[in-house]
Every structure is written in C-alpha cells, then in structure tokens.
Structure 1
Amino acid sequence: MELTTQGMQLQRGVGDKLASIAAEVSLLRRGGRKAVVRVDAGVTFAMHWLLPRLASFSEAQAGLEVQLETSGGPIAMATRVDVHIRRDPTDLGDLAYQPFLEEWSVLVASPQLLQKAPSSVLDIVNNTPRIGARSRPTLWAQWSAHHRIQAAGLEPTLEFDNTVLAIQAALEGLGVVVVPEIFVSTMLQRRLLALVDPERVLTGHYSYAMRLRRESTAVMTFVEWLRGQAS
C-alpha cells in the first residue's frame, strides 16, 4: 500500500507532533532539565545552514537543547562535544563518520557588477576580478574542471582569508566568486547576489561523526533530524 500525497503530509505532521509530545514527556521525567547535545561545526556552515534550521528542531524537541560551537580543521578530542560536522572527513580523525549533505557550488556576483560586465560567462571570468578564499583554495579549480577550462588561467586575483570575507567582497561588487550554494541561497533569493553561471558544481560533502555518551538517545535524535534536513 502506498500513501497518497495528502497521506504523506498527514504522516509528517503527526510524526512531528508525536516527536514533540515524546520530548515533553522525556523533559518531565528529568524533572524539567533538558538533555544537551553539543555540536561542533565550521563557522560558515553553522551560520548559513545549521543555525537557520535550529528553530525547527527546538520546536519539535522541547526536551533537547543544542549547544553549538564553531571551529575549523582537525577536531580536538579534549573538548566536550557529541557531534562533529566537517566538510573534510580527514578532520574527523579516527571517528566513524557519515556523509549527509552534498555541497554544490555556484558562480555569483552582485547584480550591479553584472550590469556592467560582458555578456558571456567566459568573458566575465576573464575580465572581472576573481575572488577566492584561502580556506577553500580548490573552488575555482573545481569550477574550471567542470567547464573544461585550464585552471591555471582562472586562479583568484583577489584573495581573502575565509569564505565569509569572500562572500562579503562579492556583495560589495569587488568581483565574481565560486562559493557553496548553501552559503548564499538567501542572498540569491533576496537578489543581493546573482548567478553568473546557472550550472552548479559538486565540490564536496559534509559529514558528521558522533562521540556517544550515556545520553546517546538525545544525540541520535539530533542526528536523525540533521539527516532529514539534508534530504
């Protein structure tokens, strides 16, 4: 038996309500104390993808509290963390990890800059400053490979330390930038940035790794929600 579209919508709605009730019961059993899930993620990922979604988790799981901290590079096992999220799985050390989110990147610029730019994509990238982030040195090369262009000819001409600054530079009209779409989707919707090239380029995956504690049910609840948000 297969559910109709209306049936699937009802199932999702009832499922969310049941999860919320279960969380309230769990909270009462602990005397009103919330179970804490400590999450460690990169700052740009946390700011543009994870944080905007946490309100929905809090609404559905009243008995759970997410404590988010940000860091980059290899994880520090000395810290109290339940779930680590990284783009580079080697940063997760010996922990078992699970990819959960594909990263697709796009070429963007400010609409004002594009008004004065050449008409073709190739002319734009050749004649406009190319913004890069030292924290993501391969994005331009990946975009070039996707379009079968020699990467050496399209290296960044204006570099910044991190993706946050590179995005801000594009917003200010300083050039074009290849950037993960999840970091600029809201800016594209608000027309603060515009697509230079409609094609998306697969540039990586995000993975999570768990450090299980005694309260592992709370951790698993968060991880299941995380996977659902990525689907």
Structure 2
Amino acid sequence: MPRSLPPLNAVKAFECAGRHQSLSAAAAELGVTHGAISRQVKILEDWLGTGLFIREGRGIELTVDGRQFLKEATKLLDGLALAAERLSGGPKSRVLRINAPQTFTMRWLIPRLSAFSVAHPGIEVRLSASIEPIDKITGHFDLAIRRGAMGADSTPFLSETCVPVASPDLLKTTPVSRVTDLTAHTLLHAESVADLWQRWLDLAGYRKLQGKAQLRFEPLYHSLQAAIDGAGIAMGPSALVATDIMAGRLVALFPDLPLPLDDFHFFVPPGAATRHVRVFQRWLLDMGLAQSPRPP
C-alpha cells in the first residue's frame, strides 16, 4: 500500500522555520526567499489540515500540533541525512569553522567543546577569534557568534547579566558589603567593553564613584584573570564567570543589582547551513538554555 507522505520540500521548510522560530532565518539557511518558506509552510498546513504556526505581526510561534510535528520531522530528517551519509562512505570528518569573540571562546566555548566532540566525533571544529563585523569576514566562517544581533537572521542562544566580581582572598582582606566599599579597591577595566563599570555604577546610583586605583586591559579575559589573581575587582558577565564562581575562584558582588547585557547570537551565512552546522546550532541552543533559561 502506498505511503501517504507530505511534500518533502514543505516539511524541510517547516522544520527549518520551526527550529529557528523564524521564517527569515529559515530562508537564510535554505538559501531561498522568505516568501518561498511561507508558501511551503502553507502547503504543508493545507496537506495536514491543521495550523502549525501562530502568526503574530512579523513573528511566528508553534502551535501544539506544530511542536509535535516539529519533533518528529527533525528526528526523521536527521535520520535520513545520517543514513545517506553512511551509504555515501561512512562517517567522514566535516570541518566546521566557528568565529567568535576571544573571551567568549576561551571562557565559555572551549570548556564545553570536549562534550560536543564526544557526541559528534565526525565534526572537526576549527575556531578563530574575532569581534569584527561579520560582513568583513564573509567566506571565512560557517557560523559566527557575537554579542548582540547580527541583523534579522541571527539567533539568540545565551542571555547574560553582569555584576562586579572579585577573588575571595581579596575580599577577606578588604571586604565589600556596600557599593561605597568599592572605593577601597582597584577597579579593573577592559577596553573591549569599556563602558561596563560606568553602566553598572549608574544602575547602582553611584555615577561618580571611583576606586582607589584603575587598571586597564585590552581584552576582557585579561581583566577577569587579574580579578582571579586578586589584583582588583572586575565586571564579570555571568556566562563568562559562572565556572569561576562555582569553583570558588571568584565571588559575585551585589547579585541583586545585575546589569542586563545583550544576548549572544549566532549567525549562519546563506548557503552554509549543512547538516553539521545544524547540529552545532542545536547544541548551542541547548547549552545556552541550560545555563540561562530564556523566558517563554
């Protein structure tokens, strides 16, 4: 008896749009227009006889039926891709070029990559560090990560806040219980995010407060390492210092006064969304959700 199967192109378009929660991002991944994705989703909805997305303004949200169908469609498409890969010569090394800011790479991404490599041994990750605009490095990456949106087609995956951080040994010598106690400490600045201290002090209501001294570094990871070594107090983005706080190398000060920061986003250039890029995208979303659950 012949199978009753929905149109494959429509399923691919829906699965991509559902995974990104964005028609525009799906269009970028599949290398087609926004309108083409919308038409394919409508074809699938008509074929199934049910709505898969709720459309609100320019955004979309999966319906209950849409969430269930997305789960099955993703599993089946991944299985089909894996079967094709095996028949075409078995597991092959697939190079995945990631471009990300240096501090993020060192303090968040690298510590987690071993788990990714164990789960996906056939994907060879190559990292390069940069904070240049992505249009200046086009052609040199498969997936780029930056703090803040990179146009309409980037996807947020990791949210952050920021508070001052210091080594526990430093705080034993010179405790900090009030914001004004910071005047007895050296404040550590990173030129790559030079406004963090001032923004936090504005939030705390002490715009003109200054430390007893200032130390300035170019990259953020230098200021964080200086804080770990007891040289002073630095501004610590939550995702980038979480491991140090858990290990007792740093203490978060004034956690009830968190400074909101832009989310980290990833961007995949049109035509670069191969299967191994999609695997890494889903992994990033899972890792980001595990560390900083996003509101529904």
Calculate the TM-score normalised by the size of structure 1: 0.79
Preserved contact between residue 43 and residue 71 of structure 1 (Cα < 8 Å): yes
Preserved contact between residue 107 and residue 195 of structure 1 (Cα < 8 Å): yes
The answer on 1:53 being equivalent to 2:112 is: yes
Match of 1:6 in 2: none
The answer on 1:170 being equivalent to 2:230 is: no
Match of 1:189 in 2: 246
Q: Which moves more between the two structures, 208-217 or 43-52?
A: 208-217
The answer on 1:149 being equivalent to 2:209 is: no
Segments of 5+ residues of structure 2 without an aligned counterpart are: 1-75, 290-296
In 2, Cα distance between the equivalents of 1:99 and 1:165?
26
Preserved contact between residue 46 and residue 70 of structure 1 (Cα < 8 Å): yes
Q: CA-to-partner distance for each residue in 1:148-195, whole Å, 9 max, x for gaps?
A: 322x43488221111111012112211111111222222222212222
TM-superposed deviation, 1:21: 8.0
Letter in 2 for 1:105: C
Other structure's SS at 1:179 match: strand
Preserved contact between residue 82 and residue 213 of structure 1 (Cα < 8 Å): no
Distance 1:214 1:181, change over 3 A: closer
Other structure's SS at 1:157 match: strand
Q: Which moves more between the two structures, 42-51 or 120-129?
A: 120-129
The answer on 1:161 being equivalent to 2:257 is: no
Distance 1:149 1:102, change over 3 A: same
Distance 1:158 1:201, change over 3 A: same
In 2, Cα distance between the equivalents of 1:23 and 1:49?
30
TM-superposed deviation, 1:22: 7.6
Preserved contact between residue 26 and residue 63 of structure 1 (Cα < 8 Å): no
Distance 1:108 1:19, change over 3 A: farther
Report the count of equivalent residues: 211
For residue 86 of structure 1, the aligned residue among 134, 146, 154 is: 146
Other structure's SS at 2:181 match: helix
In 2, Cα distance between the equivalents of 1:84 and 1:205?
14
Distance 1:41 1:33, change over 3 A: same
Distance 1:215 1:132, change over 3 A: closer
TM-superposed deviation, 1:209: 0.9
Letter in 2 for 1:54: L
Letter in 2 for 1:104: T
Match of 1:223 in 2: 281
The answer on 1:97 being equivalent to 2:154 is: yes
Preserved contact between residue 24 and residue 62 of structure 1 (Cα < 8 Å): no
In 1, Cα distance between the equivalents of 2:103 and 2:254?
23
Alignment of 1:27-38 (within 5 A): 27-31=85-89, 32-38=91-97
In 2, Cα distance between the equivalents of 1:114 and 1:97?
40
Preserved contact between residue 176 and residue 182 of structure 2 (Cα < 8 Å): no
Match of 1:204 in 2: 262
Distance 1:80 1:95, change over 3 A: farther
Other structure's SS at 1:140 match: helix
TM-superposed deviation, 1:118: 4.0
Segments of 5+ residues of structure 1 without an aligned counterpart are: 1-17
Preserved contact between residue 142 and residue 272 of structure 2 (Cα < 8 Å): no
Match of 1:136 in 2: 193
Greater relative contact order (Cα < 8 A, sep 6+)? 1
Letter in 1 for 2:130: S
Distance 1:30 1:48, change over 3 A: farther
Preserved contact between residue 108 and residue 194 of structure 1 (Cα < 8 Å): yes
TM-superposed deviation, 1:44: 0.8
Distance 1:154 1:27, change over 3 A: farther
Other structure's SS at 1:198 match: coil
TM-superposed deviation, 1:117: 1.4
Q: Say which one has the larger Rg.
A: 2
